Amino acid sequence: MQPEIRYAKSGDIHVAYVVAGDGPVDIVCAPGWVSNVGLLLENPLTARFYNRLAQFSRLIIFDKRGTGLSDKPGRMPTLEERMDDLRAVMDHAGSESAYIFGMSEGGSMSMLFAATYPKKARGLILFGSFAKREWSEDYPWAPTPQQRQKFYDKVENHWHEDMDISTIAPSIASDPAQARFFAQYMRLSASPSAALELAKMNTGIDVRDVLGCISVPTLVLHRTHDGDAHVDEGRWIASQIPDAKFVELPGVDHIPYAGDMDTILDLVEEFVTGSPPQQVDRVLSTVLITDIVGSTRIAAEFGDRKWRSLLETHNDIVARSVQRHRGRLIKLTGDGMLATFDGPGRAIRCGHDISELVNQLGLNIRGGIHTGEIELIGKDVGGISVHIASRITDQAPAGGIFVSQTVKDLSSGSGVSFEDLGARELAGVPGNWRIYSTRSN
């Protein structure tokens, strides 16, 4: 197949994608580290893999911003911007819902997307994916900082050389034609600096806390001796996603189109042709709660008429700021508000925006933010994540926007600075919660 290159507009960015096949269901492939849809089908291995997918689906493949044929902004994208790009591609391609197929690093964004937009994600397929990219005691399968630094040095100093594919595709590493192709493919997918910055950003990604919020049918595939992402990562990810199916495959290759690709394709075909759409009333969301500090005292000092006028101005600022940052204003609470967002970076910036604007009125607000699963109750929302955001708000001082560890972990590359305030008890919420103060740069 030689599909035409199309472009979807995501904000100011043009995202390149191709569509192939006319099957009954849509599959959107979220690429790994870097990609180039213009070259992807020129290699017999990759062409065979994607041609087979297109035989039983309408296949959509895209280059994330900063890579391949998509626009290259001055900085690397955040996870929420990558989700924006995926939504923009689906909308432009006329796809109301699709199976999201995340490979390697593309799996992290796919997991977050499936949890956040379950109506757009008909199902989730993961291959060779990971939830975290830097070692910790509670996630011992990821590379150590020293291993990541060695990888950075290799990207920065040897990007011009034929690529060593012995880690990602040992079964074809001895084939010089494949080594040359993948070296050329990588170089035409990203510049050395872009590849390096993207690798560093990926190191900061941690989506562990969202796995329990994924409610769509999920298939996790992982090869036993994958040298880039340990099979125990795939097994653990599947154990954290409700009702996910885990299949361990024999083999050593990290990329799906090396080694036995037919078994992978058979499993994917069975999964997407036999899973019905799922009704959803619980989704992953970022909750922002703010309140006016000292509102009772101010109301008493100003009197009812002046206080009502001031509160109306505050409410107008809140509504406009939430809209500007693409959130959903759930409700005003008399001296505060509750809003939800599809990304933590927008929630943080919205909180600081509101704080700065109402400060010009002589008011101070404080805010709390948490990302987690929420319940959709008509036009309202509920659930433990809302309570956590509320309790974090109680911890914040005047002018402060405090966030949970989950928000911080999901905000890699967002341009927000975090200060660790340590673990704290939140009233009515079990356990200790690590809290961070924020500053928008």
Interval 195-254: pLDDT, tens: 888 888 888 889 999 999 999 999 999 999 998 999 999 999 999 999 999 999 999 999
Please give the tally of structural domains in the chain: 2
For position 1, what pLDDT does the model report?
55
Band of pLDDT at residue 24, cut at 50, 70 and 90: very high
User: In which residue are the tokens 């880690």 written?
Assistant: 167
Q: How many residues does the chain have?
A: 441
d(CA 83, CA 67): 15
For position 155, what pLDDT does the model report?
87
121 and 13 in one domain? yes
Q: Are 421 and 428 in contact (CB under 8 A)?
A: no
Q: What is the CATH number of the domain that holds 425?
A: 3.30.70.1230
Angstrom distances, CA of residue 46 to CA of 42, 229, 248, 362: 8, 20, 22, 61
Average pLDDT, the chain: 91
Taking 80 as the threshold, does the pLDDT of residue 25 lie above it? Answer: yes
Q: Which residues contact 326 (CB under 8 A, 6 or more apart)?
A: 341, 342, 346
Residue 65 covered by a domain: yes
Q: Which of 240, 274, 308 is the last residue of a domain?
A: 274
Secondary structure percentages of the chain, helix, strand, coil, to 5: 40, 25, 35
d(CA 235, CA 221): 9
Residue 1 covered by a domain: no
Taking 80 as the threshold, does the pLDDT of residue 440 lie above it? Answer: no
Comparing 184 with 287, the larger pLDDT belongs to 287
Tokens of 341: 């967002």
Q: Are 284 and 362 in contact (CB under 8 A)?
A: no
Taking 90 as the threshold, does the pLDDT of residue 379 lie above it? Answer: no
Q: Which of 258, 274, 290 is the last residue of a domain?
A: 274
340 and 428 in one domain? yes
Band of pLDDT at residue 290, cut at 50, 70 and 90: very high
163 and 25 in one domain? yes
For position 2, what pLDDT does the model report?
66
Concatenating the DSSP letter of every residue in 177-192 gives HHHHHHHHHHHTT--H
d(CA 110, CA 214): 10
345 and 202 in one domain? no
Residue 68 covered by a domain: yes
Q: Which residues contact 1 (CB under 8 A, 6 or more apart)?
A: 20, 21, 41, 47, 50, 51, 54
Q: Are 67 and 194 in contact (CB under 8 A)?
A: yes
Amino acid, single-letter form, for residue 433: W
Residue 155 covered by a domain: yes
List the domain range (segments joined by +) for residue 158: 6-274
SS3 string, 346-358, reads HHHHHHHHHHHHH
Return the minimum-mean-pLDDT range out of 74-88, 113-127, 365-379, 394-408: 74-88
Per residue in 141-191, pLDDT (tens digit) is 999 999 999 988 888 888 877 667 888 889 888 888 888 888 888 889 888
398 and 353 in one domain? yes
For position 338, what pLDDT does the model report?
97
357 and 253 in one domain? no
Residue 321 covered by a domain: yes
For position 276, what pLDDT does the model report?
56
For position 279, what pLDDT does the model report?
57
Amino acid, single-letter form, for residue 2: Q
Taking 90 as the threshold, does the pLDDT of residue 394 lie above it? Answer: yes
Residue 268 covered by a domain: yes
25 and 77 in one domain? yes
Angstrom distances, CA of residue 53 to CA of 125, 233, 273, 401, 412: 13, 25, 12, 46, 32
Band of pLDDT at residue 280, cut at 50, 70 and 90: low
Residue 47 covered by a domain: yes
220 and 317 in one domain? no
User: Average pLDDT for residues 342-370, to the nearest whole number?
Assistant: 94
Tokens of 157: 């100093």
For position 77, what pLDDT does the model report?
78
296 and 179 in one domain? no
Q: What is the CATH number of the domain that holds 20?
A: 3.40.50.1820
% of the chain exceeding 70 in pLDDT: 98
The distance of Cα 80 from the centroid of its chain, to the nearest Å, equals 5
Concatenating the DSSP letter of every residue in 156-183 gives HHHTTSPP--TTT-GGGTT-HHHHHHHH
**Residues paired with 403 in a beta bridge:** 369, 436
Band of pLDDT at residue 41, cut at 50, 70 and 90: confident
Taking 90 as the threshold, does the pLDDT of residue 330 lie above it? Answer: yes
d(CA 392, CA 400): 11
Burial of 48 (0-12, 13-18, 19+ CB in 10 A): middle
Tokens of 396: 């914040």
Q: Which of 231, 249, 274 is the last residue of a domain?
A: 274
Q: Are 424 and 404 in contact (CB under 8 A)?
A: no
333 and 189 in one domain? no
Q: Are 366 and 389 in contact (CB under 8 A)?
A: no
Per residue in 250-269, pLDDT (tens digit) is 999 999 988 899 999 999 99
157 and 202 in one domain? yes
Angstrom distances, CA of residue 237 to CA of 5, 105, 218, 301, 344: 34, 14, 10, 55, 22
Question: How many Cβ atoms sit within 10 Å of the Cβ of residue 145?
Answer: 10
Tokens of 243: 């009702």
319 and 239 in one domain? no
Residue 59 covered by a domain: yes
